[in-house]
Amino acid sequence: MRNQGGQLDSSSHASVESTAQERHLLPEESAAVLEAVFKMLGNRTRLRMIYALTRAGEMCVTELAEALEMKPQAVSNQLQRLTDRGILASKRTGINIYYRVVDRSVVSLLDRGILLKEV
């Protein structure tokens, strides 16, 4: 857990090294938030988008649609969901909107998932 200053709370048992037995029981509200995150990431299209954006740094809708062999409208819809969740950020340059991953914890989670698949 992090304190209000964003620093790890040394009294918490939520460090990466701790085991599930050392952690406090996950509160209902936290479980609901975590469930929503996993539902957002539990979609192959969104996972592929995050992966492509991680590799490229940033891409516009057209580039991403071409890379994923999808229609731009379908890509745009999913990008909006990821942006609303705070996983992606966007910027407009002329007529194009470029997206990039801003939630680095999602990248770490994706990396770990890929490693699990390879084991």
Looking at residue 68, its pLDDT comes to 97
Do residues 68 and 59 touch, judged by C-beta distance below 8 A? no
Model confidence pLDDT, tens digit, residues 64-87: 999 999 999 999 999 999 999 999
Looking at residue 119, its pLDDT comes to 72
Widest pairwise Cα distance in the chain:
52
- Residue 31 phi, psi (nearest 5): -65, -40
Which segments in the chain show pLDDT lower than 50?
1-15
Looking at residue 19, its pLDDT comes to 67
Reported pTM: 0.74
Q: How far apart are CA 57 and CA 13, in angstroms?
A: 34
Q: What is the DSSP string of the chain?
A: -B-TTS-B-TT-S-STTS-TTTSPPPPHHHHHHHHHHHHHHS-HHHHHHHHHHHHHS-EEHHHHHHHHT--HHHHHHHHHHHHHTTSEEEEEETTEEEEEE--HHHHHHHHHHHHHHH-
Q: How far apart are CA 85 and CA 62, in angstroms?
A: 21
Q: How far apart are CA 60 and CA 58, in angstroms?
A: 7
Looking at residue 57, its pLDDT comes to 96
